A and B are shown apart, each in its own frame.
Chain A
Amino acid sequence: MGEWLVGSTADFDEGDRRIMKVDGREIAVLKNDGRFHAISNYCLHMGGPVGEGMIMGKVEAVLTDDEQYVGERFSTEEIHIICPWHGWEYNIATGEFAGDRTRCLPTFEVVTRDGQVYVRT
């Protein structure tokens, strides 16, 4: 348990991420939509480097009032990170796995202080 320095806030452009090792395990710290998130870098599926994956909104179906499927859209509220090995998707804020909400990727608190980014385990 502790607080670990990741780098300076100025080092993070939008979408950037840093992979750091804490107690032998990798944590991915990323910046999305101006906010920092930290997640375990081991996909629950097969251990893939989930922190290296694409980030995009959850795909939502668009239905009419009488249940007709008319298209899809990216959610602007639920943002996913996608493991590049097999496509498992996780909510970057909560770590919830999109295929089974009872399963969660460990997430960690990120704090910024005096222009520095820290992750707390």
Chain B
Amino acid sequence: MTDSEFSTLAAAGLGRDAKDDVRAINAMDRTRYDSSRHLAHATEQARERNYADFLIVDADAHHYENESWPDIVKYIEDPILRHRAELGRPPLDRSNVDQNRAGRIYASSRRRYEEVPGDVPRDVTLIRREMDAIGIDYQIVFPTPMLHLGMHPDKFMETQLSWAYSRWMTEEILPHDNRIKTMVYLPFNDPEASLRTVEYFSGKPGVAGFMVTGPRYKPVHDNAYMAVYRALEERDLPLGFHAGYHSSERIMEGMNRFLSVHALGFVLYSMVHLTNLVINGIPERFPGLKVLWIESGLAWVPFLMQRLDNEYLMRTSEAPLLKKKPSEYMRENFYYTTQPMEYDNLKALQLTMEMINAETQLLFASDFPHWDFNLPSTVYDLPFLSEHAKRRILGENARELFKLDS
């Protein structure tokens, strides 16, 4: 490169011609970028050191191939994988997330294109439309990507991000519609922050309770959490454990399908946390604490009832706080949401509902717009439920638990 070419490049990189002495920078502009301008000082160094006189080789540099993903996909030889990659993001990590199966199921992926009028926040409009379309009167709304925050290696991140989200929800979303509620995210990897969260958000309009995301390795029976349970019990606010899977869960390293990871992952952490709560006598220490198990379906509950009862009866000395069998706490102190209801075997489902005392302990949930959402008809069309039981499950149990209309 000649000296004059260097001069031109340097001048261009500095955003001026050689005669200008001042260049304005818009510090708030986060979108514009020009490589030559950004590296203008490097260009000056190259000229000053006369790099043009000898060979320089860069043995390691990068580009971002995901920015050209649509051009790359066509070379994938396996037709199924090519199809999955065309409508999804590059499946480059272990997550193997393909919940919407390359566009086969599209409510959650196309939602971002839905047009809204703009008179209220976008989320308010979309939530209202979904509620009205399905026939729902009240909806407890939860985040989606934040369901994985409990696995972040930096607990400060969970505390800070969840706080910001909860402030946004309670200050900018919920006030627009009394029918939209939330259970505020508890950053459970930090017990003190969790207590602060309960104290700050209790009583805020639209706050129906508090929620812990399941994927995390914390022992929920640890002494550090007793103050949180006490605070919730005193305020008569329910505590939800929202299920989730973790893409890097080691026990699932051998599972190659999202179907498999989801089937087991979404009950795995619920089972661990429920077992810890019951066996360590949390329902005995806090008999007024209502715990809700969200989005694990129902089939896991009879299994755990039977398993824990059988083990407990042989090892009562390991659970000295218990005065009843584990299944009794599960039936009397705990609540469950219906989705995703496993209703292919109605006989098993009927027995399950009897075992969990569905008429008082079960709450309908849609999980919309996720790929395995349910509708009220999922409950309403069950042939073995009385009309009274249907109405309890579809709304009255939630009205009591969340104190709706009060």
Interface status of A5 (Cβ within 8 A of chain B):
no
Does B104 sit at the interface, judged by CB under 8 A? Answer: yes
Considering only CB atoms and an 8 Å cut-off, how many residues of chain A contact the other chain? 15
Q: Is A63 interfacial (CB-CB < 8 Å)?
A: no
B374 contacts A53, C-beta separation under 8 Å: no
Minimum CB–CB distance for B349 against chain A, Å: 15
| Closest partner residue, chain A, to B100 (CB atom) | A87
Q: Mark A40-67, 1 if CB is under 8 A from B, else 0.
A: 0000001100000110100100000000
| Size bracket of the B interface | 10 to 19
Give the interface segment out of B11-19, B25-33, B77-85, B240-248. B77-85
Chain A residue nearest to B103 in the complex (CB): A54
The interface residues of chain A lying within 8 Å CB-to-CB of B101 are 87
Q: How far is the CB of A67 from chain B (nearest CB, A)?
A: 17
Q: A47-B377, A86-B105 are in contact. Are A59 and B80 (CB under 8 A)?
A: yes
A72 to chain B, nearest CB (A): 4
> Does residue A73 face the partner (Cβ distance < 8 Å to B)?
yes
Known: A46-B374, A46-B378. A54 touches B104 (CB 8 A): yes
Residues of A within 8 A of B79 (CB): 72-74
Cβ of B106 < 8 Å from any Cβ of A?
A: yes
Confirm or deny: B385 has a beta carbon within 8 angstroms of a beta carbon on chain A. Answer: no
Chain A residues, CB < 8 A from B6: none
Cα distance A86–B166 in the bound complex, in angstroms: 30
* Residues on A with beta carbons closer than 8 Å to the beta carbon of B372: 86
How far is the CB of B262 from the nearest CB of chain A, in Å? 13
Residue of B80, B83, B107, B374 touching A84 (CB-CB under 8 A): B107
Q: Are A84 and B104 in contact (CB under 8 A)?
A: yes
- On whether the beta carbons of B78 and A85 are closer than 8 Å, the reply is no
The docked-state distance in angstroms from the alpha carbon of A72 to that of B81 is 9
Given contacts A46-B374, A46-B377, contact A56 B105 (CB under 8 A): no
User: Is A71 an interface residue when CB atoms closer than 8 A count as contact?
Assistant: yes
A85/B107 contact (C-beta < 8 A), A46-B374, A46-B375, A74-B79 known? yes
In the complex, what residues of B have CB within 8 A of residue A53's CB? 104
Q: B138 interface residue, CB < 8 Å from A?
A: no
B142 CB–A CB distance under 8 Å? no
Which A residues fall within an 8 A CB radius of B? 46-47, 53-54, 56, 59, 71-74, 82, 84-87
Can you add 17 more A-B contacts, CB < 8 Å, to A72-B78, A84-B106? Answer: A46-B377, A46-B378, A47-B377, A54-B104, A72-B79, A73-B79, A73-B80, A74-B79, A82-B104, A84-B104, A84-B105, A84-B107, A86-B105, A86-B372, A86-B373, A87-B104, A87-B105
